[in-house]
Chains A and B, each alone.
Chain A
């Protein structure tokens, strides 16, 4: 069990989180969540809704309450899970035809943890196919729509999780972030999304896209619920050898600490090629941080401009290797007669979408003899430079700031070329290359469309990011914006 203090303390935490109804009747809460999902069906946030499983879990919690048994720290909270995180007995598709009927036979470590803390899993959320995309438009099940403007993209790839939170169907959600996939849809739907440090949260059971970059993280409407979910999922896992054996702090305690004297470096290059209106909104948010006692200074990261191409080369290389496992024989695909190689080609050709094929193809190319040194190895050298630049700046600053997204949510189908869509990740990918934690917090609206502020912290210092987010939330009141 996660220890965050007494249940009295938890109640006060949840009150602080503006979570008004404590889990007195979790079953009632599940029915309300199901109504919300139904009402917002056109947003296409969910691939699979598990009404039966959710009601069963809620009844179990209700019994615990009646008997006076100890409840988990997430008791009664409704949780949505991105559809690339394995859930035992519950279909997990990665929003791909390849896994349309795949039912995992084990739970991801994060799922074991949230279940042990009595979260109620209501369903699996839509995403870009195999998390390859920035708008949830590449899903086999169709795009998820932006909560604030249904003709626009939700962001991605964790678009379904972000919209499930924004439309109030769920209290908390799990996403995954390989190059911005938690932060991007969080910004586009005015919620909080945290990408933890690489190695902070187990990825056992996360269906891999690019293993040196992938990370599972929490999403919610406010800082405290985000923090609570991080508290539950963080920590060493022997089944994921990239998780580190570092103690997990009491994040709630950390978040409530004083924030005086926090130094934030504003990355100059992060404001190049950004919509001017978006920049202004982000600077306004930084003004609020200054007002509440943060020191704000401009800094420079000359190698930031190389992050995007380096990221795509590395991510594609890793994806071409990771997706080689999809042969349609042990799981996934479809029944095909013929020789093994014919089966393999037919299944992969028919069951992978265009963007996935493009990335497998380019990944194979950049790793092939004659090109590996020029592309993949050089991208890995750029990765070290970016890592070192971040580490140098984080010696003098507690956090670094940029806009989360360079533009406002675009119209569904508006960006036609793959390269145009890749460019949307310009602010977020450097963080994954360096394995750092980063958070997107709501920075306000331009018309009806939301803008996000990205804060980047040092390795394993999620607490500082959450502390800044909480202070900013109290000052700006973003948790009450909608």
Chain B
């Protein structure tokens, strides 16, 4: 592990692009300060050396499976009820490929 982790303005903009969120100049300044403060607090975890297996879930996956039985599902009307725009049986979005 090298020194403390701190995010630069460029990295900040890179991660914002990954999150699909755009930031104004003011927001960049404010978030940069908050986030580096929080990351500094997270150092206590980063500096730990533990030899136990990571735990991601409490419940075991073995209990998760059920019989695959047909059941009633949402009506077409319900599926589209909250969409801003639809065409026949499709959700409408902006052009994906330029």
The docked-state distance in angstroms from the alpha carbon of A381 to that of B53 is 6
Q: When the two chains form their complex, are residues B19 and A378 in contact, meaning their CB atoms are under 8 A apart?
A: no
Interface mask (B58-98 → A, CB under 8 Å = 1, otherwise 0) = 11000111100000001000110111110000011111101
A472 at the interface (CB under 8 A from B): no
Interchain CB contact under 8 A, A349 and B78 = no
A105-B78, A105-B82 given as contacts; is B21 within 8 A of A345 (CB)? yes
Those of A363-382 within 8 Å (CB) of chain B:
364-366, 368, 371, 374-375, 377-382
CB of A103 within 8 Å of the partner chain: yes
Give the distance in Å from the alpha carbon of A361 to the alpha carbon of B27 in the complex. 13
A211 vs B15: C-alpha distance when bound (angstroms): 23
A357 to B21, CA, bound (A): 8
Chain A, residues 203-247, CB within 8 Å of chain B (1/0): the string is 000000000100000000000000000000000001001101100
B60 CB, nearest partner CB in chain A, Å: 9
Q: Are A106 and B96 in contact (CB under 8 A)?
A: no
Bound state CA distance, A377 and B37, in angstroms? 21
CB distance from B44 to the nearest CB of A (A): 6
Contacts of A309 in B (CB 8 A): 41-42, 44-45
Give the docked Cα–Cα distance between A336 and B94 (Å).
9
Number of interface residues of A (CB under 8 A): 72
- List chain A residues, Cβ under 8 A from B64: 241-242
Task: Answer yes or no: A198 CB below 8 A from chain B CBs.
Answer: yes
Other-chain residue from A198, A306, A371 in contact with B58 (beta carbon distance below 8 A):
A198
Closest Cβ–Cβ distance, residue B95 to chain A (whole Å): 5
User: How far is B55's CA from A435's CA once the two chains are assembled, in angstroms?
Assistant: 11
Tell me the chain A residues, 266-305 only, with Cβ under 8 Å from chain B: 305
Residue A387, interface by CB 8 Å: yes
B16 near A361: Cβ-Cβ < 8 Å: yes
Q: Which residues of A contact B41 (CB under 8 A)?
A: 309, 419
Determine whether A360 belongs to the interface, using a CB cutoff of 8 Å to chain B.
Answer: yes
Q: Are B15 and A368 in contact (CB under 8 A)?
A: yes
The answer to whether A341 and B20 have CB atoms under 8 Å apart is: yes
Q: Check B82–A245 contact: CB distance below 8 A.
A: no
Interface hits, A417-439 → B, CB 8 Å = 417-419, 422, 434-435
Scan B19-40; emit 1 where CB is below 8 A from any A CB, else 0.
Answer: 1111100000001001101110
Known: A238-B66, A362-B38. A320 touches B48 (CB 8 A): no
User: In the complex, which residue of chain A has the Cβ closest to the Cβ of B33?
Assistant: A417
Taking a contact as CB atoms closer than 8 A, the residue among B22, B44, B83 that contacts A349 in the complex is B22
CB pair B74–A106 under 8 Å, yes or no, is yes
Given the known inter-chain contacts A338-B94, A357-B21, please indicate yes or no for A385 contacting B45, CB distance below 8 A: no
List A contacts of B95 (CB < 8 A).
Answer: 339-340
Q: Which residues of A are found within 8 Å of B52, using beta-carbon distances? A: 381, 384-385, 388
Q: How far is the CA of A365 from the CA of B42 in the complex (A)?
A: 12
Check if B35 sits within 8 Å of A362, measured CB to CB. yes
**Is there an interface contact between B79 and A105, defined as CB atoms closer than 8 Å?**
yes
The reply to whether B15 and A364 form a contact with Cβ atoms under 8 Å apart is: yes
The chain B residue with its CB closest to the CB of A326 is B20
> Measured between C-beta atoms, what is the minimum distance from B4 to chain A in Å?
11
Question: How far apart are the CA atoms of A103 and B78 in the complex, in Å?
Answer: 10
Given contact pairs A330-B82, A381-B50, a sample of 10 additional A-B residue pairs in the complex whose CB atoms are under 8 Å apart: A103-B81, A306-B48, A320-B19, A333-B84, A339-B94, A339-B95, A343-B94, A357-B19, A361-B16, A383-B56
Considering the complex of A and B, which 10 residue pairs feature the smallest CB-CB distances, nearest first?
A435-B58, A380-B54, A331-B82, A241-B64, A105-B78, A384-B55, A340-B94, A381-B50, A335-B84, A383-B55
Report 5 cross-chain contacts, Cβ distance below 8 Å, ordered by A residue: A105-B82, A212-B56, A331-B83, A357-B19, A382-B48
